[in-house]
Structure 1
Amino acid sequence: MENINDQPIEILVTIDQNYIKPLEVMIYSLKLNNLEQQMRIWIIYDNISTSALTALQNFGQKIGIQVEALAMNADFTFPESLLNLHDYPQEMYFRLLSGKILPSKLHRIIYLDPDILVINSIRPLWDLDLQGKMFAAAVHEGLTDIMSSINNIRLGTTTAYFNSGIMLMDLDQMRQKVKLDDLTDAINEHHDTLILPDQDILNYLYGEDILQIPETQWNYDARAYSVYLTRSAGEYNLEWVMQNTSILHFCGKPKPWQKENHSRFKALYLNYQQMTNNLTKAKK
């Protein structure tokens, strides 16, 4: 009988040239904490040099992860209203359109932002029953649910406000339901109230089609250690995080690889970064 672990977990990232080094750190953390699991990384990109892509693929080969790079389909023409919104790069929309770009043989995929560390197994997320939903994502609730209420008013939604940085995605449903015209229309309609364009659009258009997953396990906001500790009456301390959290997400700015960052988890990130740098410098 074929071992289920012989089937790769499919991972999607959408980055530009500026996030290649953080992506290497993320990939290495993913491998180190999922040693028994086969994985394949799909990179959807628009403007990354051939040499940088080759280096990423060589890095993946060195640690035993297949890296596939797909250029954004030239058939997608992004309107100026979308590209000029708060100067965010178009790569942020690639995740929502990935069903049209990735091979049809892929049926589900885990999207990961590059500014994360994977510190435990992601297999349970991959195996998650989506219960008919198109996405699974977490809500960063904080001590109260005020932000969800504000976003409900701002976007006219009725669901909690989901973070788009880590998502399990049903590609078959996305191929049917996600359309560039819908994204464009939503941006034109809510242009003045959008703060995080792709995340706002995800919630506005598809909030009803998202299954909520625990943030402390799958999308732990590295800025909010004190919030989680207080909310759990002291249970979610550092030992709990290291044993139970699978994905640490370094949301917002500054990032842990920048000097200004003083997150409680910065030292952990720098350790993974150092291991990654040592590996990339090592001779084959």
Structure 2
Amino acid sequence: MEAFGYLAAIAIGITLGMIGGGGSILTIPLLVYVFGIDPILATLYSLFIVGSTSWVGGIPKYTQGLVNLRTALLFGIPSIISVLLTRAFIAPAIPNTILRIGNFQLEKSVFLMLLFASLMIGASLSMIKDKRIRRNMMRSKSAEVKTTRIMLEGVMVGILTGLVGAGGGFLIIPALILFGKLPMKIAVGTSLIIIAANSSIGFLSGLSHHAEEIDWKFLLTLTALAIIGIFLGHRISKKWDGERLKKNFGRLILVLGITILVLEGIKIIKM
């Protein structure tokens, strides 16, 4: 099973390299269900793996002129502030037991996985959605509305990153295309820079609370494999149609999200 997990780590990098997001969607289930890591610690691991891999993939994109810095700042600054506030105040304030009714109780770790699965399903539907709908949305929005929406999406992604360890690429890419009017290749590069910054800030802000629990050898091994994957993903992206790839990835995420909901539901029933 662990051998599969290490191969899956390469797939995380490939996904980031091809579509500029989706790495954390694969990382969290991999860490929790394959390697048996507690979901709360898994969010920190995910931030490190996805953040490091995104830096490695994003910097070459910047040197190639495939990063829109203005849009990255419009999205990134509100997002980073949200990450810091979420990790400092919101995440620690969530109790270990979210809800207790008689014999039923909802633990924090299960709640985070349910939240993550719900986001996966929502993201998958946005990826599968027909591209003609996106074109109509782009035509119907003014420049001011688009700028505001980019910043609000940044805040949303920052909260998400702080809570569940997701870089938010599955939300960033649609926002950059819809409201930033960026071509797919530039959206991918810009997304990688935003994810890298968000994830790094999220990891550093949570490091002091879990420093003694981190298995650095394991974490660096997974990160190295993901970095190998991102270079493979860059190569593949040059040959594959981005729209078709994104839809197929969306279908995979839909299946994974439903699977996680079922697994966590079984946990709740057994409690």
Q: Normalising by structure 2, what TM-score?
A: 0.27
Q: Which has the higher strand share?
A: 1
Higher relative contact order (CA 8 A, sep 6+): 2
